[in-house]
């Protein structure tokens, strides 16, 4: 009697021959066994709801690719454990790919390849999250902007966790978060018609991202760098190397994390 949780060679061969029932059965069994692990992998950077969404999309994309490979006999049968490991690697690779796009704004924020003059015109908010363009961009703009603000707040918190054992970098990341909070506060004040007005300065980042108009949030990398230097006392030219090194350390740490994700997905 066939184990309903396992994939044996008979089921595998049926899938290779184009049996769609076998394909769906294998997908269902692997999904049941790998989904929780995949959500946990994604959950280190995003909330549970987003993690489940990323995991679900990753499974669909990975299985579409694997189904094509299986139909062309590009996947050899070497036993169920090896096949499970291969499927898991492809799924995690897709998760990493999605999460990596969501971190694009962070890589940009700590990128030292551009001069301050080049950074002056950067649309920082536009790089906060790599949201795919759709035909409904104009209709969805407020919702998409709100999503970007929420993701920014979450990722700044995660970035702080990544470097929690390095106080000087935690200080830099803390000022990145404070700069972001100030941009939110200014956006809130622009539309505040209440009397008396709200006490925006007393609101948390998480509270601000839920009520400000995303389209009024103005931020740039140059302004963020200026803010960080001033707050950390690194405004003099002689302190430029110190500042650059700290930003480079943040960048290197992020790239290291991304590389680790790449290796796990291979």
Domains of the chain: 9-102 (1.10.1740), 113-265 (no CATH)
pLDDT value at residue 136:
39
Looking at every residue in the chain, the average pLDDT score rounds to 75
- Higher pLDDT among residues 5 and 45, named by residue: 5
pLDDT value at residue 123:
38
Q: With b meaning 16 or more CB within 10 Å and e meaning fewer, what string describes 213-248?
A: ebebbebbbbbbbebbbeebebeeeeeeeebeebbe
Q: What percent of the chain has pLDDT over 90?
A: 7
Least confident of 15-24, 75-84, 126-135, 248-257: 126-135
- Distance, in Å, from the CA atom of 248 to the CA atom of 156, rounded to the nearest integer, reads 16
What the block records as the tokens of 97 is: 């790919």
Query: Which tens digits make up the pLDDT trace of 105-125?
Result: 445 444 433 344 434 333 333
Least confident of 97-111, 118-132, 136-150: 118-132
From the CA atom positions of the chain, what is the Rg in Å?
23
pLDDT value at residue 119:
42
- Distance, in Å, from the CA atom of 27 to the CA atom of 250, rounded to the nearest integer, reads 39
- Distance, in Å, from the CA atom of 10 to the CA atom of 2, rounded to the nearest integer, reads 10
Q: What percent of the chain has pLDDT over 70?
A: 75
Query: Which tens digits make up the pLDDT trace of 169-188?
Result: 999 999 988 999 998 999 88
């Amino acid at each position: 009697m066939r184990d309903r949780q396992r994939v044996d060679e008979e089921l595998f061969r049926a899938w290779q021959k184009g049996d769609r029932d076998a394909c769906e059965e294998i997908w269902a069994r692997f999904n049941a066994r790998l989904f929780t692990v995949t959500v946990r992998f994604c959950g280190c950077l995003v909330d549970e709801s987003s993690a489940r969404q990323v995991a679900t999309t990753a499974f669909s994309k990975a299985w579409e690719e694997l189904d094509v490979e299986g139909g062309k006999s590009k996947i050899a049968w070497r036993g169920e454990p090896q096949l499970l490991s291969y499927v898991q690697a492809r799924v995690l690779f897709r998760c990493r790919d999605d999460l990596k796009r969501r971190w694009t704004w962070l890589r940009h924020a700590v990128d030292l390849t551009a001069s301050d003059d080049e950074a002056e015109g950067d649309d920082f908010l536009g790089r906060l999250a790599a949201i795919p363009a759709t035909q409904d961009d104009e209709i969805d703009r407020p919702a998409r902007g709100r999503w970007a603000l929420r993701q920014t707040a979450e990722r700044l918190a995660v970035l702080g966790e990544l470097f929690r054992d390095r106080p000087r970098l935690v200080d830099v990341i803390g000022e990145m978060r404070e700069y972001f909070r100030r941009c939110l506060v200014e956006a809130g004040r622009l539309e505040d018609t209440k009397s008396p007005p709200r006490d925006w300065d007393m609101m948390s980042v998480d509270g601000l991202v839920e009520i400000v108009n995303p389209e009024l949030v103005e931020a740039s990398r140059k302004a963020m760098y200026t803010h960080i230097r001033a707050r950390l006392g690194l405004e003099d030219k002689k302190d430029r190397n110190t500042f650059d090194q700290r930003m480079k350390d943040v960048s290197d740490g992020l790239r290291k994390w991304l590389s680790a994700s790449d290796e796990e997905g291979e």
